[in-house]
Homo-oligomer: A and B are copies of this chain.
Amino acid sequence: MTNSNQKTDMSVFENLESEVRSYSRSFPTTFEKAKGYHMWDGNGNSYIDFFAGAGALNYGHNDDAMQQKLIEYIQSDGLLHSLDMATNARAEFLKKFNEVILEPRNMSYKIMFPGPTGTNTVESALKIARKVTGREKVVTFTNAFHGMTIGALSVTGNAFKRHGAGIPLTYSMAMPYDDYMDGYDSLDYLERMIQDGGSGIDLPAAIILETVQGEGGINAASFEWLKKVEELCRRLDIMLIVDDVQAGCGRTGTFFSFEKAGISPDVVCLSKSISGSGLPMAITLIKPEYDQWGPGEHNGTFRGNNLAFVTATEALDYWKTNEFSESIEEKSGLFQKRLYQFVKDYPELEGEVRGRGLMLGIASKKEGLAGQIAAESFKKGLIIETSGPDDEVLKMLPPLIIDEEGISKGLDIIEESIKAVLGKEEAKV
């Protein structure tokens, strides 16, 4: 499968859009339509999507049922915008989320609509933790990514993004994630630093973490480590915030990424795929005893994106039984088998398979290699990105609804691209 060489004219973006644009540089074509795990550009080229809107399209593009609901809602003159007023669409989402997600898992949380983006749910989580505890500092981990607004950026690790703030980022303390200090227990260190009255490390309001770090390089924390973090939080009276924006909504196999770890975060951040359709939406789950907001203490114009509520409600159907969850595990198995094979077959990759569920990657020690493979894959019809501090990880986030054929074809393209890139590399030598 090779796409036509006809190049899309990107001048409208180059001339009118800010230099900050990024993905239109990695994938230099103009997309026209998309369905399931396929995308098509204006030149008739088709692409398999292994990126899924950076995890915002777990249910694929343009799910039929969601499309139908959207059209019905629009045709009925349903409110598109309603701030945080009560609407039918909002009520239905609240009820169904409680019934399908929270109750069966014995989870008791108040649901907050903090504004429709990931950075917004993180900002609201940090605020409530600081309000509840009366403390300022928040522990974050190496390679964490939590968002671009100043509050969320302060707990984000990436130096390039941090530098963009233009002001010193404060009230956060970066600590080593899971096995960052090979052979040394990073939580022993964290606990000792917090407990030690002479360490210069103040008792934090909260610890915020991703169970699998997406932007940070597909680093999956062990369940044991997560359990230990929770214990530490309980012991020292620190709030635990899980940022499940990218790893949640089924991406790692269960609805919440932390279910198998058996932990109970005080605050959970969800966004990206929560709307089901890729429309902007976010929620913050807060244990009832910590829901100490005053009315409107955190607000925002787009807390009532009703089209998002409509598809979000529809998407919850996927979670009525265990079937969807099991299918993700199965597909993850298929993926991993091939990835391990790649690492074995192409030792020049100096590769390492990482991840959990359908949040997977191959880290390569060869500088720039992951990026070359991604670029080559795009030419061959696959949308795939890299992550990690040095873009050293080829990251795979296919829509969870992908089928075996899609997985095969996508992985075939990756393999061909690996060969092509390694061939070039050899040719250089």
Contact = CB atoms under 8 A, between A and B. Distances in A.
Interface in A34-67: 34-35, 39, 42, 53-57, 61-62, 67
A115 interface: yes
Q: Residue among A22, A28, A144, A305 with the most chain B CB within 10 A?
A: A22
Given A61-B80, A162-B202, A150 B150 contact: yes
Interface in A297-312: 297-302, 305, 307
Contacts of A21: 84, 113, 295
Interface string A4-29: 00001010110011111111110111
Given A33-B76, A87-B32, A148-B300, A157 B200 contact: yes
Q: Residue among A39, A75, A120 with the most chain B CB within 10 A?
A: A120
A75 B71 CA distance: 8
Q: Is the interface of A mostly helix, strand, loop or mixed?
A: loop
Interface residues of A, number: 151
A198 B12 contact: no
Interface in A272-293: 272, 277-280, 284, 286, 291-293
A427 interface: no
B31 A79 contact: yes
A99 to B, nearest CB: 10
Contacts of A77: 33-35, 61-62
A167 B171 contact: yes
Nearest to A131: B166
Q: Residue among A24, A98, A193 with the most chain B CB within 10 A?
A: A24
Interface in A77-122: 77-88, 90-91, 94-95, 97-98, 110-120
Contacts of A172: 200
Given A67-B74, A172-B200, A85 B31 contact: yes
Copy number in the complex reads 4
A87 B31 CA distance: 5
Given A116-B117, A117-B116, A280 B280 contact: yes
Nearest to A77: B33
Contacts of A176: 189, 193
A179 interface: no
Interface string A123-151: 11011011100101100111110011111
Contact of A33 (B25, B28, B78): B78
A206 to B, nearest CB: 10
A332 interface: no
Given A22-B299, A32-B88, A164-B293, 19 more contacts: A16-B97, A20-B114, A20-B297, A22-B296, A27-B85, A33-B76, A54-B301, A67-B74, A81-B279, A115-B148, A117-B302, A123-B149, A123-B150, A131-B164, A155-B200, A159-B199, A160-B197, A198-B217, A272-B301
23 contacts: A12-B91, A12-B95, A13-B94, A19-B294, A22-B84, A23-B85, A30-B86, A33-B76, A53-B82, A61-B79, A61-B80, A116-B302, A117-B301, A123-B149, A131-B166, A151-B165, A157-B199, A157-B200, A161-B299, A162-B200, A162-B202, A164-B298, A280-B302
